[in-house]
Structure 1
């Protein structure tokens, strides 16, 4: 299923799921307050969403709604650095900016997941205007894939990790590079 959050012309925001033809949105708002309540509902909620998708009661044409971020209000936002090539790009950036000419990928990166905490209150949807802050000289973006966790847990064994994944989406990480360069002087954050 391809989940979305959308806004109607009347201004109502609702979770939904795309129709098989991808030209409509099945409104899940009668059963779920928002995407987080659907995620929190686990397998029974997914079964309800699937049943609604298969026998759509209220379908909005995609052309008549505004798509928002699929998960517009995540509880947390962690941006993980899991590709060595991406990390090397960051090291090269630090060197180029003159922050640390001897920068290298830290040994700890090879030992455990490294991430920075993103602002979960600044999520924007498709076609949304990204406003450059007054202190920002250069906006930069990176195409990323987001992994949305559903089932909670701690100290999860690697072989059970997939049980905790709700789904995936495309995520564009937008940052102000001149601010990031200054923050990097304090270390990998």
Structure 2
């Protein structure tokens, strides 16, 4: 099932499912009211409620979708073009972005230190010094287990929203990621059992301000902070595809286009740490709850920094992941956008 959160005209957000090659959306609550008017439909008031409803709620959603289409329940059917598509899970209980693709980190470090070396009298020698010092290497701890940063789960937007260029940022970037949504709670989950905790998957564009992020990295604060945490910085969509719909989640083609030009291409199978590894590692001694989102990190070549290319005001980013679909986002500077006074140092 391809689940969405959408807003019809003059209505609050609704939970639905794509049908007819994503051209039609079945409103699950409206279908329940028409088909089973005496039943409790509280599982369909939000995507989080549907996830919390577990297997029984998902089975009802399948039945409602099938009957609404077969019976022609017009009140429950919306044309995709007639509604606003929101982030499929607008209010995740928690959002963590994991470093599952280690080659991305190696690529990004090489570009960063090549930029730094270019400022010295002998750039080639400077780059070799960085290499010899291990500056281009991924830490052993990151190889041994998936590390993560806590992203802002209160700043989530969807396909029909614009990403807002933050004040003071000069080098804006996209990140081609996919994400896993948990379907039930667990502690000390084993890798062997982890797949049963996965509700579904979506596409994740982790918008990043690279020059601001560089300031955070130099301070020793890590990769997060203001370079990642700003309004409209986490983009999800176009849907959540339930885990049962994907036979092999680790063979999904991944592609990014900017204004129609391909910038990035990879595959979900390039993950060094799979989502099962993530759940096993991050559930040690702590409960992982239903409705949490775990980002994959960026697929190799999956962002501008790996190519030393960055976004411009008004650019349209398309992230495509096999089986899930295409997530399209425009990034724009606000009319009152203000630069910062400090120069770039990275």
Using structure 2 for the length normalisation, give the TM-score: 0.52
Structure 1 outlier segments of 4+, above 6 Å: none
Aligned to 2:11: 11
- Out of 44, 47, 51, the position equivalent to 2:59 is 47
For residues 19 and 158 of structure 1, what CA distance do their matches in structure 2 show? 33
Which sits farther off after the overlay, 27-36 or 62-71? 27-36
- C-alpha offsets along residues 89-144 of structure 1, whole Å, 9 cap, x if unaligned? 23224424549944221110121111111111111111311111112112110111
Aligned to 1:140: 173
For residues 145 and 41 of structure 1, what CA distance do their matches in structure 2 show? 24
For residues 187 and 105 of structure 1, what CA distance do their matches in structure 2 show? 17
Does the 8 Å contact 1:94/1:181 carry over to 2? no
Larger Rg: 2
Q: Is structure 2 residue 144 aligned with structure 1 residue 111?
A: yes
Which sits farther off after the overlay, 96-105 or 134-143? 96-105
Q: Is structure 2 residue 207 aligned with structure 1 residue 166?
A: no
Does the 8 Å contact 2:102/2:143 carry over to 1? no
Q: Is structure 2 residue 67 aligned with structure 1 residue 38?
A: no
Q: Which runs of 5+ in 2 are unaligned?
A: 31-40, 118-128, 224-346
Question: How many residues are treated as equivalent by the alignment?
Answer: 189
CA RMSD of aligned residues (A): 1.9
For residues 80 and 203 of structure 2, what CA distance do their matches in structure 1 show? 19
3-state SS, counterpart of residue 158 of structure 1: coil
Using structure 1 for the length normalisation, give the TM-score: 0.92
Q: Is structure 2 residue 102 aligned with structure 1 residue 90?
A: no
Does the 8 Å contact 1:141/1:174 carry over to 2? yes
3-state SS, counterpart of residue 149 of structure 2: strand
3-state SS, counterpart of residue 90 of structure 1: helix
Aligned to 1:62: 80
3-state SS, counterpart of residue 86 of structure 1: helix
Which sits farther off after the overlay, 35-44 or 92-101? 92-101
For residues 7 and 13 of structure 1, what CA distance do their matches in structure 2 show? 4
Which sits farther off after the overlay, 45-54 or 98-107? 98-107
